[in-house]
Amino acid sequence: MLETSLPRTGPSAVRIEARDQPGEIQPHVALRQTEVRYTRTLSTPMGKPALIVSQSGRLTPWLSTLVGAQEYEPVSTLVTERAENGRYYFSPATVAQIDQRIHRMDEQLVVVDGVPHPGQLVDVRGRLQSTTVVDKRRVFWERLAAKNPVAATRMSLQEARLARRRAANEQRDAATGGPSGTSGQVADCDKRIQTLRDRLEQHQEAARRRVRTGHTAVDATVVLLGGVGAPTTALWGELTGREASTEIGRPARPATAQTTVGPHTVAVTDTPGIPASDGLPQWITDVLPGLVTALEQATCLLGVGADHEAVLESVAESCGLPYRSLADADATVARMALDDLLPSVTCAIRLPYRDDTQALVSDLHDRTVVHETEYSDALYVRLEAAQTAIDDLHRRVTAVDGELKRLETSSDGDVTDTLD
């Protein structure tokens, strides 16, 4: 038996059970070897009903959450286990079942829990004309589109490609009946598609440039990753002191701000919840090019929230990045994890008493963690600095006739080397 219980906790809910019943066909369901039961409990008037349909035997975990976030209510589900159909993506039995649901329960949106090709999406829309049919990619893109011009353009490009497919179908069907004028429609669609492709590339490059040039004077860059609904934004706010919406699907594109972790100046990048469990498929990276750039620049990754491990490990492996997992948005735990991930060096510095020495010492307090200062025949400082800052620090120390020496620190914190 397949049973789906909605993760949505709204005033109304739908439960659908599909049971294999060999040899028994219910008169109200025109489906071979399948009995379907619907249960709806309503405490308020219905809003915009939506139906998510899967033929894989299970639902994509995040999909109901994203559909519900776009003010569809109730969100019901239909789960079957049938082979993909070449024309409609859904099998004829599933299409008939959806058709019954549309007439019986007045769904305004049908979501394909899959990635049909354009021809399949055009044909299933033609078969189910009384409702709107979209795939799971479109649900994700639409959630981002209001504040993400890349996603908005990608949606338009998908619709333009579908329009071309419909025009091409009409042209083919009318070919035996003489000229129909549909060839002009195909040409217009081709022009529209090219315009949108060019616009998409422009928006993608702008998004990459925005991330690439946004925070350059830092020691490290950390990218926060999580599934749909993960508290990455809450953690980002705790770490950086910034305020941001924690709604599902926000931020709609990567958001970066700076913080300090020990001796490190760190750029922390928040990302939308990733609707995938195994890496980043192209339909995600197409609308989040800034995420790809952030990962290329990243020093390390933090996974946040429940069920993020698979996507975190996959991304970390593909990008060659160290990472840690956090159960929730605990900034203290996050800083401890970053302290472990970000390399630092303990140094001893000897500085002569000169006019320009005090300016350097003041800067050391701003840019490093100063553990000890001693005034003797010279000024001695023991400090911890980001590994990436050591070369610049050595240059500035020698410029005032000082000396810098790295210290080896054992696991219990004892210094095993000292300044001569």
Residue 22 has pLDDT above 70, yes or no: no
Of 166-170, 275-279, 337-341, the range with the lowest mean pLDDT is 275-279
- Residue 410: pLDDT band (50, 70, 90) is low
Q: How many residues does the chain have?
A: 420
Question: pLDDT tens digits for 130-175?
Answer: 899 999 999 999 999 999 999 999 999 999 999 999 999 988 887 7
User: For residue 341, what are its two tokens?
Assistant: 């991930």
Task: Look up residue 81 and give its DSSP letter.
Answer: B
User: For residue 328, what are its two tokens?
Assistant: 């929730």
Tell me the average pLDDT across 214-219.
Answer: 88
Q: Phi and psi for 384 in degrees, rounded to 5?
A: -120, 130
Neighbour count for residue 322 (Cβ, 10 Å): 12
Q: Which CATH class is domain 220-341?
A: alpha beta
- Taking a C-beta distance cutoff of 8 angstroms, is the pair 91, 55 a contact? yes
Question: β-strand 109-112 against 132-135: which pairing, if any?
Answer: parallel
Q: What is the pTM of this model?
A: 0.81
Tell me the average pLDDT across 84-100.
Answer: 94
Question: How confident is the prediction for the chain on average, in pLDDT?
Answer: 85
Looking at per-residue pLDDT, the higher value among 161 and 5 belongs to 161
Check residue 413 and give its pLDDT. 52
Residue 34 has pLDDT above 50, yes or no: no
Percent of the chain with pLDDT over 90: 70
CA of 74: how far to CAs of 86, 130, 131, 228, in Å? 30, 18, 15, 19
Domain 344-407 has CATH 2.40.160.60: no
Which SS3 state, helix, strand or coil, does residue 420 take? coil
- Taking a C-beta distance cutoff of 8 angstroms, is the pair 377, 365 a contact? no
Of 104-113, 156-165, 341-350, the range with the lowest mean pLDDT is 104-113
Residue 4 has pLDDT above 50, yes or no: no
User: For residue 206, what are its two tokens?
Assistant: 């702008």
Neighbour count for residue 268 (Cβ, 10 Å): 27
- Taking a C-beta distance cutoff of 8 angstroms, is the pair 6, 77 a contact? yes
Residue 231 has pLDDT above 80, yes or no: yes
Percent of the chain with pLDDT over 70: 84
Question: pLDDT tens digits for 358-373?
Answer: 889 998 998 899 999 9
For domain 2-142, give the fold.
Answer: Rossmann fold (3.40.50)
- Residue 388: pLDDT band (50, 70, 90) is confident
Looking at per-residue pLDDT, the higher value among 350 and 276 belongs to 350
- Residue 242: pLDDT band (50, 70, 90) is very high
- Residue 176: pLDDT band (50, 70, 90) is low
| Residue where the block lists tokens 């409990």 | 41
CA distance 251 to 144: 8
- Taking a C-beta distance cutoff of 8 angstroms, is the pair 402, 352 a contact? yes
Q: What is the largest CA-CA distance in the chain?
A: 102
Residue 28 has pLDDT above 70, yes or no: no
- Residue 179: pLDDT band (50, 70, 90) is low
Nearest 5°: the CA angle 285, 299, 306 is 60
Check residue 395 and give its pLDDT. 93
Burial of 83 (0-12, 13-18, 19+ CB in 10 A): exposed
DSSP string computed for 263-297: TEEEEEEE-PPB--SSS--HHHHTT-HHHHHHHHH
Contacts from 61-65 at CB under 8 Å and sequence distance 24+? 61/227, 61/228, 61/277, 61/307, 62/227, 62/228, 62/229, 62/273, 62/275, 63/111, 63/113, 63/136, 63/139, 63/275, 64/6, 64/7, 64/8, 65/7, 65/8, 65/228, 65/229, 65/248
Question: β-strand 369-375 against 379-386: which pairing, if any?
Answer: antiparallel
Nearest C-alpha neighbor of 67 from the set 143, 180, 146: 143
Residue 123 has pLDDT above 60, yes or no: yes
Question: pLDDT tens digits for 94-104?
Answer: 999 999 888 88
Which SS3 state, helix, strand or coil, does residue 376 take? coil
